[in-house]
Chain A
Amino acid sequence: EAQVTQNPRYLITVTGKKLTVTCSQNMNHEYMSWYRQDPGLGLRQIYYSMNVEVTDKGDVPEGYKVSRKEKRNFPLILESPSPNQTSLYFCASSHKDTPSYEQYFGPGTRLTVT
């Protein structure tokens, strides 16, 4: 089954404790992206990657890091989480040979930072 998976689905952590949210897709997609969703704000892009070793900032990159060492994986790293990073996070992917805006989303990771 073609899908985007994220782990963990739920995470409660404390301020300053480094964490990684993993994202993996099995569709051989070149493009991957991370979004955060907050009430009343829709989805805002954090980082995106056009291919292996190619990443760029989205609209709200502060406090986040990403890496793209393999085509299928695009982990999101919070080096020192803060309470304002409490949010619902989505990973998405798309194929370069189809319109890149037609992105497939993962199920989401709900992060709470206390």
Chain B
Amino acid sequence: GQQLNQSPQSMFIQEGEDVSMNCTSSSIFNTWLWYKQDPGEGPVLLIALYKAGELTSNGRLTAQFGITRKDSFLNISASIPSDVGIYFCAGGGTDSWGKLQFGAGTQVVVTP
């Protein structure tokens, strides 16, 4: 399948700092999504993007669908302890309805 490159792999930040992570692909996607996974649980959808150039916010989270349709980024502002977890990007391609390709994830650790 298509390869998504997600970076950074992990990040250790202090409470109150902003966080930024991104995903790039060698192929075009029609949809970019960002999920968060808490320990021992399944991924939960944070933001879905459906249009190139789209910038969408959900509380302290902001995500953008890149103009080239090959990349996306997620920002978290003013991080808090409950932001700890693994964040996954996912791309929905043109080859099959509902089929998602996931990045390897970004582990976020927030210290007080």
Query: CB within 8 Å of B: which residues of A?
Result: 4, 31, 33, 35, 40-45, 48, 50, 56, 58-59, 90, 92, 94, 99-108
The answer on a CB contact under 8 Å between B42 and A101 is: no
- Identify whether the interface residues of A are mostly helix, strand, loop, or mixed: strand
Q: How far, in whole Å, are A50 and B98 apart by their CA atoms in the complex?
A: 9
Contacts of A105 in B (CB 8 A): 35, 42-44
Of all chain A residues, the one with the shortest Cβ separation from B89 is: A42
The answer on a CB contact under 8 Å between B88 and A103 is: no
The answer on a CB contact under 8 Å between B41 and A43 is: no
B11 sits at the interface (CB 8 A) = no
A88 to chain B, nearest CB (A): 10
Contacts of B96 in A (CB 8 A): 56
Of all chain A residues, the one with the shortest Cβ separation from B4 is: A42
Contacts of A94 in B (CB 8 A): 98
